[in-house]
Structure formats: C-alpha cells, structure tokens
A and B are shown apart, each in its own frame.
Chain A
Amino acid sequence: MTLHLAVALDGTGWHPAAWREQRARPDELFTARYWADLVAEAESGLLDYVTIEDALALQSPSPTSHDDRTDQVRGRLDAVLIASRVAPLTRHIGLVPTATVSHTEPFHVSKAIATLDHVSSGRAGWRAQVSPPLANAHFGRRAPIAFTELPGSTPGRPLLRPDDFADAFAEAEDFVTAARLLWDSWEDDAEIRDAATERFVDRDKLHYIDFHGRWFSVRGPSIVPRPPQGQPVVAVLAHATVPYRLGAASADLVHVTPRDADDARAIVAEVRDLQRAAGREDETVHIIGDVVVLLGATTAEAEDRRARLDGRSDVAFESDAPVFTGTAAELAELLLALAETGLTGFRLRPAVLPDDLEAITRDLVPELRRRGAFRDAYAADTLRGLLGLPRPANRFATTTEGAAR
C-alpha cells in the first residue's frame, strides 16, 4: 500500500507556542523566502502537496470574535498568492491554498485557481472553506449568521454551529459547482488561431455556464482558458455529516480528523456512502486523515518538546485533529495502521516549523519508504497525476477531440 502524503503549512506551525522555538522564523512569516523554503523542503521529501491555511479574518480561538492576545502569531498573507509566488520555484509538488467561499466571488476564485494551475503547469489545488462568522463584519453585505452553542462547550472556548449550518455548506457546494463549470467553460482546443478566417478562438468551444442558485448567479464563460489539469484538485476539511456531504459531492480530497481507527472506519464508510449517493462511485475521491505531528528522535525527546511547548502556553494544546507525539518510526506504524481503515493518505500538520516538517521529509518519509509505502521519485508532473486522478473530460465538449486531450 502506498500512501498519499501532504503537509499543512500555517504560520510557524500548529502549536500556538511554535513561534518561540529556536529555529522558528516568526519575523520572516510575511516574506516570500520563508514560504519558498518550506515548500522546497516539502518537495525534497517528494510529498504530494502542501496546503496553505487562510481566512478572511484574523486568527482567533473563537469563530465569533477576535481576541486581543499578544502572545500568539497573528496575521496572514493571501494563500493563493503565496502558492503562486512559490510555483515558479518548484517543479512537482501540488500547491493547495485555502480560498474562502463565503463573501467571495466564484468567478474570481475560479480564475485565480485556474491561473495558479497555469503558472504551476498543472499543480494547483484549492481548499474551499466556509468563513467563520467573525468575517461577516469585514464585508458588511449580509446579516450575521446566528450561532448556537453546542453541548460540551467549555467556558471561554464555545463550540458553535451556525443555525443555518446546512445553508452555509449548500452555498459552498454551489460555489464549487460554479467554479468547476467555469473551469470547463473553455474547451481544451478552443484556441484555434485560424488566420484564414481571422478567428483566434472557435466560439462554439466557449460556453456560458448560466449557473443560477439561491445565493448567486454566474453567466461565464471564464476569462481564463481551461487550466492544464482540466479541473484543479478541490479539497475540503470536514468534521461532520453536512461537510462530508459537500466533500463527497464536490471534492477530490476530503480531509477528515478521526480520533482513532474505529472512528476512521466510521468516517470512511459515511463518506463513501455519501459519494455513492452523489452518483460519484466511479470517481476517485481521496479521504485524507489529518494528524498534528510533534516528532522526536526518541519518544522521550518528542514528549519533552511537547512539554516545553505546552509550558509556554496558558491553554492546553488541543486541535480538531488528533495530535501525535513520538518518533517517525512510530508515526509510520500509526499511519499504516490507520490506512487499513480505508484512508488513502494523510495530511500532517507540523506542530513546529521547520522542525516537524524536516522530521517528516527526512525521517518519516524514509521510514514509510522502507515499509514500501511511499514513492522514491515523483512519477507525474501534475497534482492530479500524483493523486492518481485522471484528467477529466470537459462536460461541455461536443467533439471527441476536445474530450480526449
């Protein structure tokens, strides 16, 4: 069994005290070099892709309000532009930035990701993300979504669910649908440059998408010719049935956060059921397990690192994904065991950058390779290729020529 492996890049890493580690570069977070170095390191480990976190709001433990903490990393750059900035510096690794689907325009996001695919020669992905409610006031265009506190909330760290939870994800599904239609709005061979008839394009191979939904309408076609991959890779992060349904209906990658193998089995079964219900049983949809990783040469060293980091934070470190603390060999065993449940790959969230990223590329990858579970060379030039996803036919294509390329 070979695994798909990705890393999730965010700030100085996923532990809130990561920025205080010796090798962290908190004062370079907003430079191109910082991101170029991280992505180069991930590519040196032959990873499938990197994701880059983003949001249209400042980091906050609460989805409804900003805090005034001064002891944690705050501030982000636009993830699509970070991915575009590093694209010319890399050759193989997939680039999967987060782009928000609430408040934003499907036309803009679609053409941005299509362009990322052009500048990276077919390595673009997109994690479609619903905005936290605290972004509403940044746009001021819609009434704030009401949120209900869920059972199990602890004081100061409420677990919230929007009252129109299903609506938020239905809008997200419309958004992804419109973006995908726009990617297909140009057939691959639409550009003909026929001097004899003075036609640059064959207009019969450009298509109005005429998407009409509850939240928006988009006419199309896109201004950007079809991206090299045809359809860039779409990812979602999902923790419950409603977002699982979005992933199963719309995405190529569903990032999930199982607590253990039993939980993983249940999630995989649910996502696969939803995939069948969406009529996509013939399509490849990867279910990717998210794990926060904190690695050490020995288990004790990893635990010491964890203790040091936790000691610098006034709240216990918790995450929506399970947190692994141990050696690369132990992590390799865990991932292979989890893969038995039907997960087809893992997105590892390094607790500290670059330390845990380097532990992944330099220690974990060789451990997996020793077990016959990871590639020893890149065998494809596109992200779809790395993930074993075929280049899809264009849904608007009327000629076999257009469909086959």
Chain B
Amino acid sequence: MTAGVTDGRNDRERKKQIILGVFLSGVNHHTLWADPEAGSQIAFSTFEHVARTAERGRFDFFFLAEGLALRERNGLIFDQDVVGRPDTLPVLAALAAVTEHLGLVGTLNATFNEPYELARQLASLDHLSGGRAGWNVVTSFDAFTGQNFRRGGFLHRDDRYVRAGEFLAAARRLWDSWPADAIVADRAAGTFLRDGGAGAFAFSGKQFDIEGRFTTPRSPQGHPVILQAGVSPQGRDFAAGGADAIFSPYHRLDEAQEFYRDIQARAARQGRPPGSVKILPSASFVLGDTREEAEERQRDIAHRQVTGRTAQILLESVWNRDLSGYDPEGPLPDIDPDPTGPPVIRGRAVLHQDPHRTVAEWRALAAANDWSLRELAIHVFSRTEFVGTPAQVADRIDDFVQRDGSDGFILGSHLVPTGLDEFVDTVVPLLQERGSLRTEYTGSTLRENLGIPPRTAS
C-alpha cells in the first residue's frame, strides 16, 4: 500500500483523469422497484440523494434520460417496469440548488422541441447552475410518441440526422447571438446593453426557418456541453463533428479501443483538436467483500431484474410477437420473428436492426450454453460490467480508461436512490488513491471539469 501511494503520486502527473457520470435508473427492467430499499422514482429527495452522493464522489455529472410517451405492449400501458418520471429540465434546475459542482445533463429530443424554446431553456439552466448544463441530443422518428405533440411524428427516419444537425446548428446560433460582453449595466451612463441589436439571429434550413431576437444572454459555458450517441458511420461522423462527449456502446476493451480510435480520427478529420471529444460508455456495477460474494449478488440481482415474465417481454422486443405462451424456463421460441407485423412493444428505442440475425445468434448462444429462454435473456439484457471487490472494480475501471477504452463511465445502479452510495464510499477513494480521479473539483463549469475547450462564438 505504501509503495502504491508513492507510485500514485508520481502517476498523478501523467495519468488520464477518469470522467464519471451517474444516471438515475428508472423506466427499464434494470431498476429493482420491489426491493425493500427502493425509494420513490418521482420525489425530489430521490434525485437530490443521487446527485449529492455523486458530488461527494467528485463525479463530473448527473444524467437524466427521457421518454415522451408511456410504453405499451399489445396496446396496453406497460406495467412491469417503473412507469413515470419527472420532466428533465425542472429537475436539473432544482438540483442546481442542492449541488455546487456537479454537471447537470439531460436528454432532450430534437424532434419534439423547437430550437428557440429549447435553446433558451438550456441557456437558462446554464445560467442558473453557474455553467453546469449539458444536453444529450436525440431525435425520434416514431409516430407513436408523436401522438402526444401538436407537431405529430412525421419526421422521416432518414431525416433524423438532418433534423438533429439543423437543430444543433440553430441552437448554437442562438447561443452565440448575445456577445459575452453584451450587458454593460452602467447606471450612471444609463447604458444597459452595449449594442441594441443583442440577440439578433436568423437561421434557415430544411427543417427550420427562423429569425428574430433571442431572449437569453450568453451563459457561463457559452454553449452547454453536448452529448450524443451514434454507432453507424453517419452517427459517428455527426457526433465526432458536433459533440463534446459520445456515449459508447462498447464494453469489451478491444472493441472499445477501436471505437475510441475511430471517433478521435473522425474528430481530427473535422478539424477538432485532440481530446476534445470524450467517450463514455454507460455501465453498472455490483460490489462485494470477495469476488465470489459480488458474483453471487450479481446473479441474485439479474434474476430479480429478469423474471420469467420480463424475459418473455424482453425477447418480444426482437421477435415482435407475443411470447407469453413460451415457458421462460424452456427453450427459445421456435417460431421466427415478425419484424413487419404491427409493433408488439411501442415507445422504446429499437435495439436490434436485424431481428432474424439476432435470433439466429441467440439460438446458437442458447444451444452452446444449454440456456433457457430466461437464462438467455439474463445474459443478453442484464449484463453488469463491473462485478467484484472495490479494489477489483477500481482496477478494471482505471485500466480500461488508461488503455483508451474510454475516457470514463456513466454509472447506474439497480437500486434507486441509494445504490451509488457504496460505489462512492468504497471505489472512489481507491480511484483517487491511484491518482485517476480528482479529490477536489478544479473547474467551475462542467466544461472545465471535463477538460474540454470552450466553444467560442462563431
């Protein structure tokens, strides 16, 4: 241990600093809502607890996902998982009151919002949090969700990057419409604005044709931190060109390293300086005093997450058929998927582009391991990336980041709101000892804490 501390001090000079985010679990099968320790999914105290815990652990940011319609199965509201969540922006604004340093990042949909309104909300959040706002830009093309909106759901699937790209470009133009020094507020001279045209903007594209004056002065970060997800070549280019951080779906080191290199190369080709795009997979963890204990806990959690009923439903998302007649403890359904039929499950992201291929792979996997329907579902849908003692988990996280599998992780727990406590109490001090995680915040904005350059006005 003594030698480790000494090494750590030297390491601190050269070690890559791990970025940590936390997402509050909710509307999915990962969240164990029936656990005796499980708390409210809507009370502000839940969000406050997780955010304060993350800040105690010197995390970079708190992250909220979004879903704009309650999910349905066979035309009925899905009642198996957590249902319901608060609106993202008001919760993040309220969290700004009970935290000082933590970034506040929300997923907000570019299809069912308009740039003027959303850009001012994000700029307002950035002002009200002293520069801690972040935005995960997503688009949706599903008409099901569109039924909740006056806009409807008419975005063509192929237009989603056009929409996202134009939306982001319009938002950036709005954020740049007020110079940083626009407000003089000189009482004696009677000059409030340096220039009477502050906030003037115009943007014209295929999706938007807008002009006028923006209401909100330039915020502390100039532009909030932009996060995106993208796996296809188009998505990768889009994210590498416009995002400050990218969600990575890869958890195997070799795949992750390849994605990491690819994104950095694409970013460089688009003229972005090295290190300006951070790569962050999401991950979950289960800890124990010994590896065996952690593994036993993980098995127990996975079986509670993927009950027989849940296993059927998870597989329905690929088969697109009602599988409630298939014994969860029996073999995989022998029937073929029906991707062209009316959707069995609606209101959740499409995870599998080619259901026939996925089913073939799963059948092979189940046959090779002699897995039941439920065991296959547990394997596919209930992976826990970090299982072990705090030291083992700290080593694996550190190793993954130092070897450029990613720049950090966005962590979630199956237990809301107290699941993160254990990680912060036991793993965080070890990462700090290794010199890979800050012991105090050094920046005042999310952008500074993430170590990404400011966006200067274009």
CB within 8 Å of B: which residues of A? 19-22, 24, 26-27, 30-32, 35-36, 55-58, 66-78, 80-82, 84-89, 103-108, 111-112, 114-116, 118-119, 121, 134-135, 137-141, 186, 191, 193, 195, 198-203, 206, 215-221, 223-225, 312
Contact = CB atoms under 8 A, between A and B. Distances in A.
10 contacts: A32-B127, A70-B191, A75-B199, A78-B121, A78-B216, A88-B94, A107-B149, A121-B44, A200-B83, A224-B85
B84 interface: yes
Interface of B: 33-34, 42-44, 48, 67-70, 76-77, 79-87, 89-91, 93-94, 96-98, 112-114, 116-117, 120-121, 123-125, 127-130, 147-151, 178, 183, 185, 187, 190-199, 208-217, 219, 307, 309-310
Given A20-B187, A85-B128, A223-B85, A201 B79 contact: yes
Contacts of B91: 84, 115, 119
Given A72-B192, A137-B212, A88 B44 contact: yes
Contact of B44 (A27, A107, A119): A119
B245 to A, nearest CB: 23
B190 A71 contact: yes
Given A20-B190, A141-B114, A191 B84 contact: yes
A66 B212 CA distance: 8
B213 A57 contact: yes
B116 A76 contact: no
Contact of A118 (B79, B86, B123, B197): B86
B374 to A, nearest CB: 14
Contacts of A88: 44, 48, 94, 97-98
Contact of A198 (B77, B93, B128, B309): B309
Contacts of B216: 30, 75-78
A224 B97 contact: no
A74 to B, nearest CB: 6
**Which of A77, A106, A221 has the most chain B CB within a 10 Å cutoff?**
A77
Given A32-B96, A87-B94, A88-B94, A137 B211 contact: yes
**Which of A31, A141, A201 has the most chain B CB within a 10 Å cutoff?**
A201
A195 B310 CA distance: 13
Contacts of A219: 69, 147-148
B87 A138 contact: no
A322 to B, nearest CB: 26
Contact of B90 (A21, A119, A193): A119
A84 B93 contact: yes
A84 B94 contact: yes
Contacts of B90: 80-81, 84, 112, 115-116, 119
Q: Which 3 A-B pairs have the closest CB atoms?
A: A68-B196, A216-B150, A78-B124
Given A26-B183, A75-B183, 6 more contacts: A27-B185, A35-B128, A55-B215, A75-B178, A82-B93, A312-B190
Contact of A56 (B117, B196, B209): B117
Nearest to A67: B196
Contacts of A35: 128
A288 to B, nearest CB: 25
**Which of B81, B192, B194 has the most chain A CB within a 10 Å cutoff?**
B192
Contacts of A199: 79-80
Contacts of A55: 215
B150 A215 contact: yes
A235 B221 CA distance: 34
Contact of A73 (B120, B192, B208): B192
Given A57-B212, A77-B127, A81-B93, A198 B307 contact: yes
B83 A137 contact: no
A131 to B, nearest CB: 11
Contacts of A26: 183, 185, 187, 192
A106 B117 CA distance: 13
A224 B85 CA distance: 5
**Which of B87, B98, B120, B187 has the most chain A CB within a 10 Å cutoff?**
B87
Given A193-B34, A203-B76, A81 B117 contact: no
**Which of B43, B85, B148 has the most chain A CB within a 10 Å cutoff?**
B148
A87 to B, nearest CB: 5
Contacts of A76: 215-216
